[in-house]
Amino acid sequence: MTKSEFREALESYCAFLGGSVTSYGRTPVHNALVGGVQYSSHQFWLGADVTYDHSHPLEHRKEVATRLGLFLWPESDHDHVQPLTWAKG
């Protein structure tokens, strides 16, 4: 998935679920400061953190993400999304 394809999928995901992006691209320094992994998808503009206006069941969020070619990783106060082909961690 290219950066442009990711951005379009992310926009569709957020529009469909009422989501807002709280973190997108990061420099390596900023990534380290926020506790990101060494090769975080954020550093390649292929990862984003999303919060929602209203809650949605996790399985619904995952289904929407998968249909758009995105992998969803729930975290404590937001969801992380990235291309399905990008390994988490």
Q: Does some domain include residue 48?
A: yes
Q: Does some domain include residue 69?
A: yes
User: What is the CATH number for 53?
Assistant: 3.30.1380.10
Digit-by-digit pLDDT tens for the chain (89 residues) are 999 999 999 999 999 999 999 999 999 999 999 888 888 899 999 999 999 999 999 999 999 999 999 999 999 999 999 999 986 54
Q: Does some domain include residue 77?
A: yes
Number of folded domains that form the chain:
1
pLDDT of residue 36: 85
Q: Does some domain include residue 47?
A: yes
CA separation, residue 44 to residues 3, 16, 70, 75, 82 (Å): 8, 24, 15, 20, 10
Find all residues with CB under 8 Å of 64, minimum gap 6, and list them. 13, 16, 17
Q: Does some domain include residue 88?
A: no
Residue 49, domain extent: 3-83
